[in-house]
Amino acid sequence: TSAFTMSSAGKRAKYRRKRTGPTVSDLILNAMSVSTERVGVSLPGLKKALKAEGYDVAKNNARILTAIRRFLANKSLAQTTGTGAS
């Protein structure tokens, strides 16, 4: 008896749709630049601004925090108070 298996060449690759529109990083920088606060923007304030632009904050919370941590690591943003991505 022989077993038949489907080779990887026979499988079709799943099609992933190319994302359009601005990235999370672009949205964060835009929200920070239009802020009228003198000392900066808090995390809840930033999320509120992103939500006002139509971004799904609840679904993409991890992406937002990762982008903020990346900005802090490469000194694009300066954290005035708190620790972490607050």
- Give CA–CA dist 43/49, Å, rounded: 10
Does residue 67 belong to any structural domain of this protein?
yes
Does residue 49 belong to any structural domain of this protein?
yes
Phi, psi of 60 (to 5 degrees): -115, 30
Does residue 81 belong to any structural domain of this protein?
no
| pTM score of the predicted model | 0.71
pLDDT along the chain (86 residues), means of 10: 57 72 89 83 91 92 93 88 75
> What residues make up the domain containing 33?
24-74
Does residue 31 belong to any structural domain of this protein?
yes
- Overall number of domains in the chain: 1
Does residue 15 belong to any structural domain of this protein?
no
pLDDT of amino acid 12: 66
pLDDT of amino acid 84: 72
Is 24:64 a contact under the CB 8 Å cutoff? Answer: yes
Residue 2 to residues 5, 6, 66, Cα–Cα distance (Å): 10, 13, 49
